[in-house]
Amino acid sequence: SYTTDTASREENKKTIESLYRLSVDIKKIRRLKEWVLLQDVAYVQEIAGILQEMGADETTVASVLERCPEAVLRTPAEVNTQRALWQSVCWNEKQLIKLIEQFPESFFTTKYHKNQEANILFFQELGLKNNIITRFLTSTPSVFYNPVEQTKSVIETLQRSYLSLGGSDANMKIWILKLLSQNPFILLNTPTSMQENLEFLQKNGFTDDEVLQLLSKLKGFIFQLTPATMQKSMLFSKNTFKCSDQELKELVLKCPALLYYSAPVLEERLEGLLREGVSVAQIREMPMVLELTTQIVQYRIKKLSALGYDMKSGTLESLNGTKKDFEVNYSKIQSKKERPIFNPVAPINIED
């Protein structure tokens, strides 16, 4: 830990000069993390040298140190140890320096080195490919800060849950690896909270097979919810669509977003659709539109309306889906509208 009391301290002139020689924007560091410049000991030249050894050019070194100036407070030994660890899951140093440039803070967090090392080994033993592990290191670095025992405990909970819900031993490994690659944040949950969420679904009438479906469809994000938030979301949908418990269950299976998004978010999106002239009955028929933000819905309705498409009488299917899905549907509607009624070069079939 470093002192952040800036009032009574002076900047380290040696640090300033070293950074200046490397063409680092000192003003940017002063604005964002001035406390780094106040430390008595810094390893500017040494850290820059290690980055250059890995193939970083002058621009890359300056960019890394501007975005993560605390890198210069790490000792060369710490950084070299981290370098060796990350290299164990990278193809080469060219890929490694590219990752450091994109995610410098993840790389220069050296405090949890032992935990990082143990977790990487465990993931490799589990069967995760190195490219997935590097994605974890950069996008979800906090996963590696926990003791490996905690990670193992979460994996064991997933394994038990999968088998207890009717999954087979043969498919378990593939299922877990897919789930982890889609959502590494699962590993930040506690086994107790994970179990509580599964029990909540079972108490609300979902069969084991249906719970397994929801887990896969939601890519494990269900573990980041709580029984209380899920209860509120389900109650909102039940009241909105005026449906029975069985009908609600079918809606949730059709559109797991009804379970995943909080009641206020669902309400905001529903109101956005209603303002555009869409009916509750239409939304119930195609609840997946609630996965879209109000801004996306407004943009798509505006584009479709320009083609003369009436949302009130038409289906919401053309509004639904990913950006790519929408563009395909839009093109079909557009070409249909532009197609001439009579094609003079088309052959005419005359019956004898």
The CATH number of whichever domain residue 179 belongs to comes to 1.25.70.10
Among 196, 225, 254, identify where a domain stops.
Answer: 225
- Please name the helix (run of DSSP H) or strand (run of DSSP E) that holds residue 88, with its range, or none: none
The span from the CA of 287 to the CA of 267, in Å, is: 13
Q: Are residues 297 and 206 in the same domain?
A: no
* Residues 318-341 pLDDT 10s: 888 888 888 888 888 888 776 555
Q: Are residues 127 and 62 in the same domain?
A: no
Q: Is residue 5 part of a domain?
A: no
Model pTM score: 0.79
Q: Are residues 261 and 210 in the same domain?
A: no
Q: Is residue 189 part of a domain?
A: yes
pLDDT at position 2 is 53
Q: Are 173 and 179 in contact (CB under 8 A)?
A: no
Q: Are residues 131 and 101 in the same domain?
A: no
pLDDT at position 1 is 46
Q: Is residue 342 part of a domain?
A: no
* Residues 154-211 pLDDT 10s: 999 999 999 999 999 999 999 999 999 999 999 999 999 999 999 999 999 999 999 9
Q: Are residues 86 and 186 in the same domain?
A: no
Among 89, 109, 129, identify where a domain stops.
Answer: 109
**Which of 250 and 350 is assigned the larger pLDDT?**
250
Among 86, 109, 132, identify where a domain stops.
Answer: 109
The pLDDT of 213-225, averaged and rounded, is 88
| Among 130, 80, 128, residue whose Cα is nearest residue 107 | 80
* Residues 271-300 pLDDT 10s: 999 998 889 999 999 999 999 999 999 999
Q: Is 124 exposed, middle or buried (0-12, 13-18, 19+ CB in 10 A)?
A: middle
- Domain assignment of residue 55, given as a range: 10-109
Q: Are residues 141 and 216 in the same domain?
A: yes
| Percentage of the chain exceeding pLDDT 70 | 93
Q: Is residue 343 part of a domain?
A: no
Q: How many domains does the chain have?
A: 3
The pLDDT of 49-75, averaged and rounded, is 95
Q: Is residue 127 part of a domain?
A: yes
Q: Is residue 34 part of a domain?
A: yes
Q: Are 124 and 148 in contact (CB under 8 A)?
A: no
Q: Are residues 56 and 90 in the same domain?
A: yes
Q: Is residue 1 part of a domain?
A: no
The span from the CA of 67 to the CA of 260, in Å, is: 34
Q: Is residue 90 part of a domain?
A: yes
